[in-house]
Amino acid sequence: FAPVDLRLVVEEVAEQWNGKQSHAIHLELPDGPAYVYADHDRLTQVLHNLVSNALKYSPAAECIDIRLRRGEGQLLLEIQDYGLGIPADSIDKLFTKFFRVDNSDRRQIGGTGLGLAIVKEILDVHKGKITFRPGPEKGSIFTIELKEYIPRSIGGKILILEDDDSLARLMYETIEKLELPI
C-alpha cells in the first residue's frame, strides 16, 4: 500500500475508456489531491469494473457521471449511469460471485458475474465500502467510501502512517509536540 491520489486514478480510467465507446464520461473532481492509502492497481481495477458495468448496462444512454468528493474523513466516489437499473430483489445478491440479473432486457449482454464480487473483495482489503442505490429516474448509482489519507511531512519528507502503525504515529506526534528541528 502507498498514498494514491484518487483523482489521478479516475482521470486515468476515464482516459482509457474515452474513444472506445459511445458514451461521454463526465468527471466531477475536487480541487487538490485526494489521497487514500491503497494499492493503486487494485483501485484502478475497481473503477474499471464499475465503469464497464455502467457502460454496458446503459445501451440507450449517452453519458455516465463519475463524481469524487470529500465526506467527513472519507472520500466518496460515485459512478452513476442512466441505464437499465437493477431490480430491487437482486440488490442483496449483487456482490456475490457469478450472480447476474436475469431478465429479458439484458440477456444479450455478456459477462461472468465476477466484476462486482472482485470490487467488493478489493474494497474489503482496503477497509472501504460500496453501496448501491437506484438513480432518481432510472439507472444505477454505486458509491465507494474510503478513508481519506492525510500525508504528513517532516522536514520535507513525507511520513507514511498506517492506521495500526502506532510507533510511527507516536514518533510523529512527539516530534510535533517538541517542535524538534529536523
Nearest-approach distance from CB 77 to Mg ion, in angstroms: 17
First to last CA, the chain: 26
The interface with ligand ATP within residues 16-45 (CB under 6 A) comprises none
Instruction: Check binding of 116 to ligand ATP (CB under 6 A).
Output: yes
Of the candidate spans 24-32, 36-44, 88-96, 109-117, the one that interacts with Mg ion by CB under 5 A turns out to be 109-117
Q: Which does 128 bind (CB under 5 to 8 A by kind): ligand ATP, Mg ion, none?
A: none
DSSP states along 42-77: HHHHHHHHHHHHHHHT-TT-SEEEEEEEE-SSEEEE
Of the candidate spans 13-21, 52-60, 68-76, 85-93, the one that interacts with Mg ion by CB under 5 A turns out to be 52-60
170: three-class secondary structure by DSSP: helix
Binding ligand ATP (rule: CB under 6 A), the pick from 57, 61, 82, 120 is 57
> What residue is closest to Mg ion based on CB?
115
Number of residues that bind ligand ATP (CB under 6 A): 22
DSSP H or E stretch at residue 5: strand 2-5
| Residue 69 in grid coordinates | 468528493
The answer for residues whose C-beta is within 8 angstroms of residue 7's C-beta and 6 or more apart is 29, 30, 33, 34, 68
> How many Å apart are CA 82 and CA 163, to the nearest integer?
37
Name the residues that contact Mg ion, by CB under 5 A: 53, 115
Name the residues that contact ligand ATP, by CB under 6 A: 49, 53-54, 57, 81, 83-86, 94, 99-101, 106, 111-117, 140
